[in-house]
A and B are shown apart, each in its own frame.
Chain A
Amino acid sequence: MQIITSTDVVTKLLAQRLALGLLSMFVVSVVIFVAVNSLPGSFAAAVLGQSATPEAVAAFNQKLGLDQPLVSRYLTWLSATVTGDFGTSFTNRPVSTMVMPRLWNSLKLAISAALIAVPLAITLGAICVRFVNRLPDRILSATTLSTISLPEFFIAYLLILVLAAKLQLLPSLSTIRGSMGFADQAIRMILPVLTLVFVTLAHMMRATRAALLNVMAQPYIEMARLKGEPETRIILRHALPNAIGSIASVVALNLAYLIAGVVVVEAVFVYPGIGDTMVSAVSNRDIPVVQACALIFSAAYILLNLVADIIAIASNPRLMHAR
């Protein structure tokens, strides 16, 4: 009889998921490449603006190799990318110098928002369950549901109106630059971070509440109650560990959103994140940059979901010791 250890399960899963992840990144890159290439317009037309005469455009396309067939251009890009070289943007700068500082900016924003939102969401979710269907639960649910129902730009504008325009406590512009000191950058990030906390909080809190309530309906919780355990202890010691798996998957989704989906918040606060890089690259048809962004975004989704699955397995002994 073969004995399967818990490490084996995790390793196997990791290998499977990473292989699948690579496959999906490949598919994403093909789809994006074909999609951006079939868009009308070209980098030359975008970068020449109202002086884009046909001959200037043609000269540009030739210089960029855009007169080559689609397949050979894709293969050239792919063979460079697998060696870790994102190539050169059509602006003649290395793609990595355009994408990496922006990715770092986005990560700073995402991590700050997550560090606040995730613990807060789980705590508030637990409080809701502790007082389920009573006043604290009602108030928290109503507030977070209304913040999630409002579009993110509206929350952003409300925050700007109150905190920046009226009370003048914080700057409305989050255009952080390399020339700024750490403190200045941190202050300018407060409003976007706050917006993102509001936007992601409700989803994670509702998921925590639902997952916990699900567990709380189990017979073993009733057993714990009959033993006379205090309610708070039941939630934290008995229910929460069993709900971690499903909470983790919702948290992972929200973290991926924080990295790849905050383009609207970036626009409102003029935050130089990677979403803006992608939008700018698409509208200018700077295909190498679009490709790099797409790969980063899909990698973020794949990796975060993978981590969520591992947490789910690690927190569930039944999955750890699969048959």
Chain B
Amino acid sequence: MSDMNEKKYWAMELSKGRISRREFLGRTLALGAATAMSGMIPSLAFAEEPKKGGFFRIGMSDPSQQDTSDPATWPASFAQSVFSGSMCNNLTEISPDGSIVGDLAESFEPADNAKKWIFKIRQGVTFHNGKSLTVEDIIQSYQYHMTADSTSGARTLLQQVDTITADGPNTIVFNLKAGSADFPFLTADYHLAIMESKDGGGINWEQMVGTGAFVMENFEPGVSAKMKRNPNYHKNNKPYFDEVEFIGIADWTARLNALVTDEVDAIIDVDLRNTSLIERNSGLKLSRVPALRHWTFDMDTSVEPFNDPNVRLALKYAMDRDEIVKKVFLGEAARGNDTPVANIVPFFKDPTPQHGYDIEKAKEYLKKAGLETVTANLSCADTAFPGAMEAAALYKEQAAKAGIVINIVREAEDGYWDNVWLKKPFNASDWYGRPTCDWVFSVGYAADAAWNNTHWKNERFNELLVEARAETDQAKRAEQYAEMQQIVHDDGGVITVAFANWTYAMSSKVSTAEIGGALPCDNLRMAERWWFTS
């Protein structure tokens, strides 16, 4: 490969999200010309000054007539982007590089070994109805999810909070039941949007009033949400658009049609089979953002044959992830390495060795388990994750060569998450991921996690989880999380097939800075972060 071709190759890999930006810079610096080629990489060209104005229309994939502005719900990216990301703000937000920064909180700091978190509230912030933001609004917005009869999705999340108190007019103190160094990430959860408090407790979510970049003009559930710029927004120069409209277009062909015929300026969730068509269209561009979302085959480590770690390793080595990524995900995903931590998560460390396709190793581990062959019934359905059945079929062929018999059990699509997930001993799973190691592990890998799909109980891992949570020494935490990722990789019951990309297609007149991948839609804030070039 000549220098130039190699650079082009790495640029392409980067734009498809297959390598990290850091890796890209490393590779091209090695070629001695990274600066000369920034123009070749669409997502790196963020020197441009954002312009104001215009009416931005975006085609969303998951509208529902059941959507409401109640922050206890918001199950899908439509409601999340409209209400949490555009109409409201949280105390903190996740910036595109995966770190946590203040939003309605000007600053935040831990005390008492991270058992106490002190948030300084930004002054001069007003709601869309003109009312000033007070600490009471923030406290009520949290209490709303914490009452005994709360139906909120954030209720479990907030169980670690003991009390929330105001300390003067612009300080809020969270007293936690135990130390949590990542607590500010939790306050960025989309449920925890700050809304106006009601006299006598509770919040006024029905009013559709927030402090966010856009003011709600017209909301038709399942159809569209039209919003206009908040002239008093607290972020410097933002938002750029005068108006935005989120339009629900559930059918993927209709969504692409709408973009091609200029009915919308951008769409989310592009069908992978259409990416090359979009790239060939000079009026459109494509953006791939590595996500936290990942797809796995999970083994129940408490039952035969998966209770033997050697069998688990054999199954991990029997999968050709590269082939699956290439054939099932058409190259639009990054291969997994049997941990649930994405490379944009703070303290990410890729465990070694990368679990690749190695029949000899797989056979070796089977022998260690005292087995010649093993049979595993893999419960799967198309709902499990996009391409799950195809990935399972390829895996079956690949594993057969190592003497591992995978029987694919096709489960009913409807009710998969109720009847199969967490219940069948070997099942396919779709994880949206979480922005911190602690969160990912607490939700799905701790011994007592509600969603411990692998029924995994590793003593050292669970010890470290508690230790690292309260640890404020960053170097020590990095060590602890590195060890935990290595333990999941070596001993855990998860076979991580691949990490997904968020795929956006947009008209070439839309510009973006670096797009966040922790949550869909540029961490739900595309409306305030994107702009029109012309």
Contacts and interface: CB of A to CB of B under 8 A. Distances in A.
B449 to A, nearest CB: 10
Given A51-B191, A173-B249, A280-B222, A56 B149 contact: no
Given A60-B151, A270-B254, A280 B223 contact: no
A177 B66 contact: no
B418 A40 contact: yes
Given A47-B75, A172-B263, A268-B253, A276 B222 contact: yes
Given A48-B75, A165-B261, A281 B65 contact: yes
A104 to B, nearest CB: 13
B153 A177 contact: no
Contacts of A60: 151
Contacts of A283: 64
A90 B68 CA distance: 11
Describe B's contact surface by its main secondary structure. loop
B156 A56 contact: yes
Interface string A237-253: 00000000000000000
B66 A270 contact: no
Contact of B415 (A39, A51, A280): A39
B142 to A, nearest CB: 15
Interface in B52-70: 64-68, 70
B450 interface: yes
B247 interface: yes
A109 to B, nearest CB: 15
A284 interface: yes
B248 interface: yes
A93 interface: yes
B488 to A, nearest CB: 20
Interface string B81-122: 000000000000000000000000000000000000000000
Nearest to A53: B156
Contacts of B150: 56, 59
Contacts of B414: 39-41
Nearest to A60: B151
Contacts of B153: 48-49, 51-53, 56
B258 A172 contact: yes
A218 interface: no
A45 B66 contact: no
B218 interface: yes
B9 interface: no
Interface string B479-498: 00000000000000000000
A288 B254 CA distance: 29
Interface string A35-71: 0000111111111111111111001101100000000
Of listed A41, A50, A283, residue having the most chain B CB within 10 A: A50
B432 interface: yes
B432 A50 contact: yes
Given A45-B418, A54-B450, A280-B65, A177 B223 contact: yes
Contacts of B151: 44, 56, 59-60, 63
B73 interface: yes
Interface hub of B153, B157, B247, B415 (most chain A Cβ within 10 A): B153
Contacts of A44: 151
A221 interface: no
B227 to A, nearest CB: 12
A178 B226 CA distance: 11
Interface in B229-268: 247-251, 253-254, 257-258, 260-261, 263-264
B260 to A, nearest CB: 6
A160 interface: yes
A88 interface: no
A269 B221 CA distance: 17
B152 to A, nearest CB: 7
B296 interface: no
Given A173-B247, A177-B220, A268-B253, A47 B73 contact: yes
Choose among B64, B191, B221, B417 the residue with the greatest number of A CB atoms under 10 Å from its CB.
B64
A29 B222 CA distance: 25
Interface string A145-182: 00000000000010010001100100111010111000
B521 to A, nearest CB: 15
Contacts of A280: 64-66, 222
Interface string B309-341: 000000000000000000000000000000000
B155 interface: yes
A56 to B, nearest CB: 6
Interface in B26-65: 64-65
B245 to A, nearest CB: 9
A267 interface: yes
A283 B62 CA distance: 12
A46 B75 contact: yes
Given A56-B152, A89-B66, 13 more contacts: A40-B412, A40-B414, A47-B66, A48-B73, A60-B151, A160-B257, A168-B261, A269-B254, A270-B247, A280-B64, A280-B222, A281-B65, A284-B64
21 contacts: A39-B415, A44-B151, A50-B432, A51-B156, A53-B156, A56-B150, A56-B152, A164-B257, A165-B257, A165-B261, A171-B263, A173-B249, A173-B258, A177-B218, A179-B226, A267-B251, A272-B220, A280-B65, A280-B66, A284-B64, A286-B66
Interface of A: 39-56, 59-60, 62-63, 89-93, 98, 102, 157, 160, 164-165, 168, 171-173, 175, 177-179, 267-270, 272, 276-277, 280-281, 283-284, 286, 289
5 tightest CB-CB pairs across the interface, nearest first? A40-B415, A51-B153, A49-B75, A173-B263, A60-B151
